[in-house]
Amino acid sequence: MSGNNDDESGGSRRRWLVGAMVILAIPLAVIWWPGCRQYPPVSSKESLELMKLLYSACNTKDEKRLAEVEKGVEQLTREGKMKPAEREGFDKISRMARAGKWEQAEDAAYKFAQDQVGVGHPDPDGRDHDHDKKGKTPKGKGK
């Protein structure tokens, strides 16, 4: 009889372990799932610079820097270097800061930056700067 009890105990342990793994996997999937981004990828190097300035403005509660960001967003939009969804991300954070919610805006600016990790942005000249077409290392970049 004790052998049968051990089988039940082993099965119970396995079920518990599988259940725990599923429970842990769900939040990890939500965190890493690309569709769970709150902010869109930025589309230019200038936008990345503005993102840094935005975080800095919110972190230091600096209205002058915030105004620089807003001016930069307007300019990039006019030049076609910023997509509407991207602009909305900047505007949303800027509105938080303007409403005096600096800490919330700082957290949002940080999340905006985090959402860029692994996304990259288009190379303005379209070239691969690490390797030429044949896969050789360019001059001056020897191994």
Question: What single-letter amino acid sits at 50?
Answer: L
DSSP string for residues in 50-86: HHHHHHHHHHHT-HHHHHHHHHHHHHHHHTT-S-HHH
Q: What is the mean pLDDT of the chain?
A: 77
In the predicted model, is pLDDT for residue 28 greater than 50? yes
In the predicted model, is pLDDT for residue 57 greater than 90? yes
Q: How confident is the model at residue 69 (pLDDT cuts 50, 70, 90)?
A: very high
Under DSSP, the state recorded for 35 is G
What pLDDT, on a 0 to 100 scale, did the predictor assign at position 117?
76
CA nearest to 63, candidates 87, 22, 99: 99
What is the average per-residue pLDDT within 19-31?
69
Q: Residue holding tokens 């691969």?
A: 128
Q: How confident is the model at residue 17 (pLDDT cuts 50, 70, 90)?
A: confident
Residue 24 structure tokens:
């842990």
In the predicted model, is pLDDT for residue 138 greater than 50? no
In whole angstroms, how large is the CA radius of gyration of the chain? 24
Under DSSP, the state recorded for 142 is -
CA nearest to 47, candidates 10, 13, 91: 91
Q: Which residue has the higher pLDDT, 127 or 6?
A: 6
Q: How confident is the model at residue 30 (pLDDT cuts 50, 70, 90)?
A: low
pLDDT digits (tens, 9 = 90+) for 87-135: 999 999 999 999 999 999 999 999 988 888 755 444 444 444 444 444 4
What pLDDT, on a 0 to 100 scale, did the predictor assign at position 7?
57
Kindly give the interhelix angle for 45-60 and 84-98, rounded to the nearest 10 degrees. 10
